[in-house]
C-alpha cells in the first residue's frame, strides 16, 4: 500500500505522458505531433489562443476523443482509452469548458450521474445528498443538493461542475476554463481546493484565458500555438509577458477608447429601475438605478459577482421583469415590449452564456447569424434565401469569423469565434444600443482584442455600447466611462484616468497594499 509520505516524496515525477499526438478532422490538423507531460502533485497550466489545440489534447487525455496517431503512457505503460468512463476508471477526470449539466435535474443527481451510489434496495439518494453537501461545503457554496440546476446562476452551475469532478476522486484532474463564470471569492476557494488536492498527490491540468489569475496557481506552464507545443517553463522562470509573447508573438493591449468624434443624443435612458431577486425573497438585486448612455459612447459596468450587473442588462433587454422605474430607447418607453419588439426597435443583448442563450447548437454558422434578423427575409410564407445569404456573408466579414463556411456546425468553431457569431447576429439587426454581458468570457487574449476592436468600430458608427465585466483590466481598455455597481446600486462613476485600485475599492473588493 502506498503511503501519503511516499506520494509526497514522488511529487513532481511524470505520471502521464502524451507522445507524438496528432489529431485531424478531415483536412484540418488540430494537433501536430504534441509531446506533453503531467507531473504528480503539480499544476500544469496550458496557455494558448482559441483553436490552438489545448482542449483537443485534453479531450484525448480524458478519453473523449481518440488521437489520429501517437500514444499515451500512464505510470510508464501505454494505455488506450475507449471512452471518458474508461479514462475516469483509470483516475482521469475532466471539467469541460462548456457546462455539461442536465438543467432539469438536481445538483445531487448531476454530481452522481452515471456513478450512482447504490444499496440493495436501489440508489442511495440520502448518501448522495450527504456527499453533495460535503462537496458544496468544501467549495464554500451554500447550495441545497435538491436544487434544480436551471434555478442556479451560471457561477453556481460552474461550481457544481467542479464538484462533480471532485467527487470522482481522480488522481489527474483536467480543468478547462473552470473559473470563466466564477466570482473573485469563488476563484480563491477553488485555488485553495487545488492546493489541497496537489498536497495529496493529485495532478491538475489547468486551462485558462485569465492569464494573470492562472499564474497564481501554476507550477509548470505550457504554451500552444496552431496545434503545436511552442514553449514550456516552470513558474519561477516565467511571467505574463513570456506567456503573451509565446501565445501571439507580440505584447499588445486590449485597445483604447475611440476618439475624434462627439457623442450623439441619449440613446438609452435607465431611470430609477429596480429588479427583484429571482429566488422570490423580494430583495432587490437592482435597486433604484439610473444611467444614461449616448450614441457613440462605450460604457463599462464593473462589479463583483452578485452586484446586479447581469440582472440589470437582462431587465433592459426584456428578459427579466422590472419592479419599478423606466427604460427608454431614443425617447420611447420600453414598458410592455417583448424581447423581439425591443430588438426590432434597436435594443439588443449579447448574453453571458453564449451556449445556452446565444446560440442554437443544432444550427450551422449561417443560420445562427441570421436568426435574429429572419423576419426581414420573409415575404408572406416564403424566405428569401439569396438575401439571407448576402447578410450572412457580410456578417462573417464584418465580425471576422474564422469558419470553414456558412454551413459549418456552430460547435466546430472556437469559443472566440462562437462569441463573434453571437455579436454578429445582434449587429445584423441594425441596433441602436447593444448590451454585452461578460463579452470576453471563455475567449483568449487575441479573440478578446478582436471583440473589443469590433465594439470600438461600432461605437464610431454611432452605436451606443454597454458591456459588463468582472475584469478590471477590461474596464481600462475601450470604455469612455466606467460605472461600478455594488449591491444593486451604482457606487461610483469614473472617466478613463481612473486606476485599478480605485475601481476595485468602489466595488467593495479588497485592494492589495
The string of pLDDT tens digits covering residues 379-413 is 766 777 778 888 888 888 888 888 888 889 998 88
* pLDDT higher than 50, residue 363: yes
Record the cell numbers describing residue 112, joined without a space: 452522481
Residues 241 and 231: their CA atoms lie apart, in Å, by 13
* pLDDT over 70 at 321, yes or no: yes
**Mean pLDDT score, 112-120:** 88
Q: pTM score, two decimals? A: 0.66
pLDDT digits (tens, 9 = 90+) for 231-258: 999 999 998 888 888 887 655 567 788 8
Contacts of 271 (CB under 8 A, 6+ apart): 290, 325, 326, 327, 328
* Grid cell at residue 465: 455600447
- Look over the chain and give the mean of its residue pLDDT values, rounded to a whole number: 87
Q: What is the grid cell recorded at 236?
A: 519561477
The pLDDT of residue 172: 93
Would the pLDDT of 513 be above 60?
no
In angstroms, the CA 315 to CA 378 distance is 29
**DSSP assignments along 66-103, one per residue:** --SEEEEEETTEEE--SSHHHHHHTTEEEE-SS----T
Q: Which residues contact 26 (CB under 8 A, 6 or more apart)?
A: none
Reduced to 3 states (helix: H, G, I; strand: E, B; else coil), residue 242 is helix
The model's pLDDT over 71-89, given as tens digits with 9 standing for 90+, comes to: 999 999 999 999 988 998 8
Q: Is there a contact between 302 and 482 (Cβ–Cβ < 8 Å)?
A: yes
DSSP string, 357-378: II--TTSBHHHHHHGGGGGGGE
Confidence of residue 2 (pLDDT cuts 50, 70, 90): very low
| Cα torsion angle, 280, 283, 286, 288, sign | positive
pLDDT band at 7 (very low <50, low <70, confident <90, very high): very low
Each residue of 266-276: pLDDT tens digit?
999 999 999 99
CB 278 within 8 A of CB 476: no
Grid coordinates of 77: 505503460
| CB proximity list for 281: less than 8 A, separation 6 or greater | none
Judge contact between 203 and 171, C-beta under 8 A.
Answer: yes
- The string of pLDDT tens digits covering residues 141-165 is 888 999 999 888 877 888 888 888 8
* 3-class secondary-structure state, position 437: strand
**Higher local confidence (pLDDT), 69 or 9:** 69
| Lowest mean pLDDT, pick from 123-132, 183-192, 416-425 | 183-192
DSSP string, 132-150: HHHHHHHTT----TTSBGG
C-alpha dihedral (480, 486, 489, 492), degrees to nearest 10: -40
- Grid cell 496517431 is found at 69
Render pLDDT for 369-382 as a digit per residue (tens, 0 to 9): 988 888 777 776 67
Q: Report how far apart, in Å, the C-alpha atoms of 354 and of each of 262, 289, 386 are.
A: 32, 26, 27
SS3 category, 173: strand
C-alpha cell at 29: 490538423
Cα separation of 311 and 315, whole Å?
6
In 10 A of CB 27, how many CB atoms? 6
Buried b (16+ CB within 10 A) or exposed e, 327-364: bbbbeeebeebeeeebbbbbbbbbbbbbbeebbeeeeb
Give percent of the chain with pLDDT exceeding 90. 45
The Cα 436–Cα 219 span in angstroms is: 34
Confidence of residue 509 (pLDDT cuts 50, 70, 90): low
Out of 46-60, 217-231, 289-303, give the one with best mean pLDDT: 289-303
Q: Would you say 432 and 420 are in contact if contact means Cβ atoms under 8 Å apart?
A: no
pLDDT at 252: 56
CB 467, CB 495: distance < 8 Å? no
* Length of the chain measured in residues: 513
Going by pLDDT thresholds of 50, 70 and 90, the confidence category of residue 511 is very low
Amino acid at each position: 500500500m502506498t503511503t501519503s509520505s511516499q506520494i509526497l516524496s514522488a511529487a513532481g515525477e511524470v505520471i502521464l505522458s502524451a507522445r507524438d499526438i496528432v489529431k485531424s478532422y478531415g483536412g484540418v490538423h488540430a494537433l501536430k505531433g504534441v509531446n506533453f507531460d503531467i507531473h504528480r502533485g503539480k499544476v500544469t497550466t496550458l496557455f494558448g489562443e482559441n483553436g490552438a489545440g489545448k482542449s483537443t489534447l485534453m479531450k484525448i487525455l480524458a478519453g473523449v476523443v481518440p488521437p489520429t496517431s501517437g500514444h499515451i503512457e500512464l505510470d510508464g505503460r501505454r494505455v488506450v482509452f475507449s471512452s471518458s468512463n474508461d479514462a475516469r476508471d483509470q483516475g482521469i477526470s475532466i471539467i469541460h469548458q462548456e457546462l455539461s449539466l442536465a438543467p432539469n435535474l438536481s445538483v445531487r443527481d448531476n454530481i452522481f450521474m452515471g456513478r450512482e451510489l447504490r444499496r440493495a434496495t436501489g440508489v442511495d439518494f440520502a448518501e448522495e445528498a450527504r456527499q453533495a453537501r460535503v462537496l458544496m461545503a468544501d467549495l464554500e457554496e451554500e447550495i441545497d443538493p435538491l436544487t434544480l440546476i436551471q434555478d442556479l446562476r451560471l457561477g453556481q452551475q460552474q461550481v457544481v461542475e467542479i464538484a462533480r469532478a471532485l467527487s470522482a476522486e481522480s488522481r489527474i484532474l483536467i480543468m478547462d476554463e473552470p473559473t470563466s463564470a466564477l466570482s473573485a471569492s469563488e476563484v480563491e476557494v477553488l485555488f485553495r481546493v487545488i492546493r489541497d488536492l496537489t498536497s495529496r498527490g493529485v495532478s491538475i491540468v489547468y486551462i485558462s484565458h485569465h492569464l494573470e489569475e492562472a499564474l497564481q496557481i501554476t507550477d509548470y506552464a505550457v504554451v500552444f500555438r496552431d496545434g503545436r507545443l511552442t514553449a514550456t517553463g516552470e513558474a519561477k522562470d516565467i511571467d505574463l509577458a513570456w506567456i503573451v509573447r509565446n501565445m501571439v508573438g507580440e505584447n499588445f493591449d486590449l485597445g483604447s477608447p475611440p476618439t475624434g468624434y462627439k457623442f450623439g443624443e441619449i440613446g438609452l435612458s435607465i431611470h430609477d429601475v429596480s429588479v427583484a431577486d429571482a429566488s422570490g425573497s423580494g430583495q432587490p438585486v437592482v435597486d433604484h438605478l439610473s444611467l444614461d448612455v449616448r450614441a457613440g459612447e462605450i460604457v463599462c459596468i464593473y462589479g463583483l459577482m452578485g452586484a446586479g450587473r447581469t440582472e440589470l442588462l437582462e431587465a433592459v433587454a426584456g428578459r427579466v421583469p422590472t419592479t419599478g422605474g423606466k427604460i427608454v430607447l431614443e425617447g420611447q418607453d420600453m414598458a410592455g415590449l417583448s424581447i423581439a419588439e425591443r430588438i426590432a426597435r434597436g435594443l439588443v443583448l449579447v448574453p453571458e452564456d453564449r451556449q445556452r442563450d446565444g446560440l442554437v447548437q443544432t444550427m450551422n454558422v449561417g443560420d445562427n447569424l441570421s436568426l435574429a434578423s429572419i423576419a426581414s427575409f420573409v415575404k408572406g410564407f416564403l424566405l428569401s434565401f439569396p438575401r439571407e445569404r448576402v447578410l450572412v456573408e457580410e456578417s462573417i466579414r464584418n465580425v471576422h469569423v474564422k469558419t470553414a463556411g456558412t454551413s459549418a456546425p456552430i460547435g466546430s468553431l472556437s469559443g472566440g469565434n462562437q462569441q463573434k457569431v453571437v455579436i454578429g447576429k445582434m449587429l445584423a439587426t441594425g441596433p441602436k444600443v447593444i448590451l454585452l454581458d461578460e463579452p470576453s468570457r471563455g475567449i483568449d487574449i487575441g479573440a478578446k482584442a478582436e471583440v473589443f476592436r469590433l465594439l470600438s468600430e461600432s461605437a464610431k458608427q454611432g452605436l451606443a455600447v454597454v458591456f459588463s465585466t468582472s475584469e478590471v483590466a477590461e474596464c481600462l481598455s475601450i470604455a469612455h466611462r466606467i460605472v461600478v455597481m455594488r449591491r444593486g446600486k451604482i457606487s461610483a462613476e469614473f472617466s478613463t484616468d481612473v486606476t485599478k485600485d480605485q475601481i476595485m475599492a468602489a466595488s467593495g473588493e479588497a485592494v492589495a497594499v
